[in-house]
Amino acid sequence: MRMLALQKLLVALFFFFIGVSAQDDTDIIWSSTGGGWRAMFADIGYVNVFQQAGLMTHNSTRFSQVSTVSGGSWFSTQLFFSPEFYNQTVLAETPDDLYDFVVSWMNTYYNISTDVDDATRSQCNTTDLKASENYDPERDVVSVLQDICYLLVQFDFDWALFIQEMMRAASTDFGDPSFVDTIALPENRIEPMQEADLLVQAALVPASRVRPDNYGEVDWTTGVYFGHDNDNDDTASLFTVVLSAAYIVADTGSRFWYGYEDKTSELQTYVAPTPAKHSWSDWEDFYLWQGDPTTGNLEINNTATVKATSKGIFRTPFGGSEETNVIQVASISSAAGGNGSPLSPVVYNQMLSIGVFVIEENSVKTVWRVLAGIAAGVGATIVGYFVVSYVGFNCHLCEKPMSHKMGIGIGIIFGALIGLITGLFYGLGSILIPTIYDNGVGAIYKNSTFDNFAICSQWPNTCAEEDGFLIDGWFIDNPAVVINVGHYQQKIGATESKGKTVKLIITNTNEEWNTTFNYAQYLQYFSTYFNNNIGPGDFLWAPGYWAPFRSPQIFEEYLDQKGLDDLLEPVPNTNFTTALLTGTTIDNPSFGVTAGMSVEILLLNLNENITTFVVGKQAVEKFTDPLANMTRSIAASEVLVQRVRDFVG
């Protein structure tokens, strides 16, 4: 009996070592797109697929690096720092177990969405709105707005506080109540992830405002700008676009890695008087849409438009790596509404200037108002003529020629009036609509309500003149690919990486595939139609993006929309597609990428009609089951598992 057991053990060990020796020794890295709750739960499905494909076990992973952005970073912080989360997702035995996990996670989110105190209910009272004659209970938009109001007021319009309490509720439920207090240090990684580096993509805004207590009584506030001193003269250069701010947890320690290190070793802060009242003209130097942001810098000196005074080196966020916790990391990466914070004036104006452009493009110019009036007048003249001539006045005394004359005369008068009115209202529209838009932008700019949609770099403390604000990493790189490749090359060395091949898996989840933004987020890594004249690391405004940023091109090959579509391979009877791509790196010093390394890419793409905005009781109720089903369907796909196996070897 003992001999039989020993034989079985030897056979098992034989096949184990055969399997290990047969594995491709190429390093494997993983990048995930964002997308709120949809991204987080899709990643739970994907990570279970990776376990089935042999990439993850109860005590190890073949991934040397994992990079995430936005809602994907809610997932990755739990993956790296919560053993209970890992055990219940990566090691889930069946897709149904994952379905149950998602439902439980969302139920805790539902509970904090409905546990509302009386003071909050009072501030979000919608009785008057529901009493309106226009209220439609079958399309209860008012209740949806009320649910959102509850969450905003309950968490003081503070994104990081909201993320903290949402994650606290979920982690307590799945058995890890101390998770939210975990410091994001390498020694705190759970056992299976000890050999993997975590990279979380966020964005540092180029300027911020310090709002004084007496804001409504002043004409000027203090603006804090980021830049660097120039070496050869007394000038300085201010950055005009968002900068990469990636938080990295690696064996060498935890730190922020910034997308300016090719230009300066130390980011400087400068202060300057900044208008308290909004005006587009005050921000024209910061490349509003459709400005040309290719220089990315605004030079300042004693005669510059912006007269800024140096305040010293940018202070390390959150008190340094020894104090930075998982919630701070997850919050900065996912602050999707941060561009709407008036304390982030450059990105705020860049984003909203798109609206000005759209209004101007669609406003009816004088020539079009005249033509519209003429067209309406001609139409009304004809109508008036026929009405009077054939179906109008009962004029027995009028001969037919007289009817024609009256029809022509009254038709012309009627047509002229209609033409004038049409031209007038089109003209008023071209004046009123921009005015209403500008007033709205100005009102939000003055209001402190949305300040904390962006995350202060010292949260939960307030920002001072050596601090800044951080927002969602998708303003830099939604699939978080560039920091992954750049960090890998820096880790092994530029010389070692030249001629080497690395395998990259990108996981993505969209509402739909065929959008300008979805294409751009992959094409931007290659030579493509919108970066023809933009050098890697230079500044561009990509299609579908809300603000300019540094070009993340890292591959020399050309790729366009049709070329990408041609690579997609459907997974039968699902909404999945996969694609195999290859890129050869080029120098992009802003992200630490050097030329000569080959990157083989497997794109796992899921198109699922689920919004990223799952906020409020009704939305949570509506999308809990679809999110759970999505996660289950990913983990249940044997074809997907096999394609991953085939790719990694």
Closest CA to 323 of 206, 188, 224: 188
21 pLDDT higher than 50: no
The more confidently predicted of residues 117 and 407 is 117
Share of the chain above pLDDT 90, in %: 63
User: Closest by alpha carbon to 508, among 629, 597, 601?
Assistant: 601
Count helices and strands in the chain by DSSP H and E runs: 19, 19
Lowest-pLDDT range of 19-23, 174-178, 618-622: 19-23
Residue closest to 606 by CA, chosen among 632, 634, 580: 634
DSSP 31: E
Q: Is 15 helix (H, G, I), strand (E, B) or coil?
A: helix
Confidence of residue 365 (pLDDT cuts 50, 70, 90): low
Within 8 A by CB and 6+ apart from 503, the residues are 24, 26, 27, 28, 29, 599, 600, 601, 602, 647, 648
> Looking at the predicted structure, is the pLDDT value of residue 382 above 80?
no
Among left, alpha and beta (phi > 0; psi -120 to 50; other), residue 592 is left
Per the CB < 8 A criterion, the answer to whether 445 and 429 are in contact is no
> How are beta strands 501-510 and 28-32 bridged, if at all?
parallel
pLDDT level of residue 452 (50, 70, 90 thresholds): very high
Q: What is the per-residue pLDDT for 387?
A: 44
Q: What are phi and psi of 601, to 5 degrees?
A: -120, 135
User: Are residues 241 and 540 in contact, defined by beta-carbon separation less than 8 angstroms?
Assistant: no
* Cα distances (angstroms) measured from residue 139 to each of 130, 143, 252: 12, 9, 55
Quickly tell me which residue has 């007289």 as its tokens. 402
- Residue 295: its pLDDT value, please? 57
pLDDT at 147: 81
Q: How far is CA 218 from CA 399, 420, 544, in A?
A: 76, 45, 37
Judged by DSSP in three states, 561 sits in helix
Cα gap 291→266, rounded to integer Å: 28
> What is the chain's mean pLDDT, rounded?
86
* 377 to 173, 380, 385, 421: CA distances (angstroms): 69, 5, 12, 9
Would you say 502 and 584 are in contact if contact means Cβ atoms under 8 Å apart?
Answer: no
pLDDT confidence of residue 434? 80
pLDDT of 132 reads 77
Separation of alpha carbons 214 and 338, rounded Å = 23
> If you average pLDDT over each of 287-296, 413-422, 490-499, which comes out highest?
490-499
Q: How far apart are CA 541 and CA 587, in angstroms?
A: 20
Query: Has residue 12 got a pLDDT over 60?
Result: no
Q: Is it the case that residue 381 has pLDDT exceeding 60? A: no
> Which residue did the predictor score with more confidence, 286 or 269?
269
* Averaged pLDDT, 247-252: 98
In our burial notation (b when 16+ CB lie closer than 10 A, e otherwise), range 198-218 reads bbbbbbbbbbbbbbeeeeeee
Residue 347 pLDDT > 50, yes or no?
Answer: yes
pLDDT reading at 310 higher than 80: yes
CB 580 within 8 A of CB 564: no
SS3 content of the chain, % helix, strand, coil (to 5): 50, 20, 35
| Reported confidence tier of residue 298, pLDDT bands at 50, 70, 90 | low
Alpha carbons 46 and 51: distance in angstroms, whole number: 9
| pLDDT at residue 235, as a whole number | 77
Helices (H), 387-450: 400-446
Residues 471-524 pLDDT 10s: 999 999 999 999 999 999 999 999 999 999 999 999 999 999 989 999 999 999
DSSP string for 303-359: TSSS--EEEEEPPPGGGSTTT-BHHHHHHHHH-GGGGG-TTSHHHHHHHHHHHHHHH
| Residue 583 token pair | 């890129």
Helix, strand, or coil (residue 454): coil
pLDDT band, residue 7 (cuts 50/70/90): low
What single DSSP character describes residue 613?
A: -
Residue 367 — very low, low, confident or very high, per pLDDT cuts 50/70/90? very low
User: pLDDT by residue (tens digit) across 112-168?
Assistant: 988 888 888 888 888 877 777 777 777 667 777 788 888 888 899 999 999 999 999
Q: What token pair was written down for 490?
A: 């820096």
CA-to-CA distance for 99 and 56, rounded, in angstroms?
Answer: 20
Torsion of CA 315, 318, 323, 328, to 10 degrees: -150
Whether the pLDDT of residue 530 is over 70: the answer is yes
Peptide bond before 194: cis, by omega within 30 degrees of 0? no
Across 58-67, average pLDDT: 98
Q: Whole-angstrom Cα distance, residue 269 to residue 259?
A: 16
CA angle 254, 255, 261 (to 5 degrees): 150
Residues 349-380 as b/e (b if ≥16 CB within 10 A, e otherwise) read: bbbbbbebeebeeebbeeeebbebbeebbeeb
- Whole-angstrom Cα distance, residue 208 to residue 225? 7
Choice between 622 and 133, residue whose per-residue pLDDT is larger: 622
What is the model's pLDDT at position 156?
92
Higher pLDDT, 368 or 596: 596
In the DSSP assignment, the letter for residue 585 is B
Mean per-residue pLDDT for 183-195? Answer: 99
386-394 long-range contacts (CB < 8 A, ≥24 apart) are 387/411
Residue 261's pLDDT band, with cuts at 50, 70 and 90, is confident
Residue 9 Cα distances to 5, 188, 253, angstroms: 6, 34, 40
State mean pLDDT over 424-453. Answer: 78
Categorize the per-residue pLDDT at 264 as very low, low, confident or very high, splitting at 50, 70 and 90.
confident
State the average pLDDT over residues 531-551. 90
Rounded to the nearest angstrom, the gap between the alpha carbon of residue 154 and the centroid of all alpha carbons in its chain is 24
Of the candidates 355, 514, 364, the one whose C-alpha atom is nearest the C-alpha of residue 440 is 355
- 215 strand-pairing partners: none
Cβ neighbours for 482, distance < 8 A, ≥ 6 positions apart: 244, 525, 552, 554, 588, 591, 593
Between 422 and 46, residue with greater pLDDT: 46
What is residue 198's three-state secondary structure?
strand
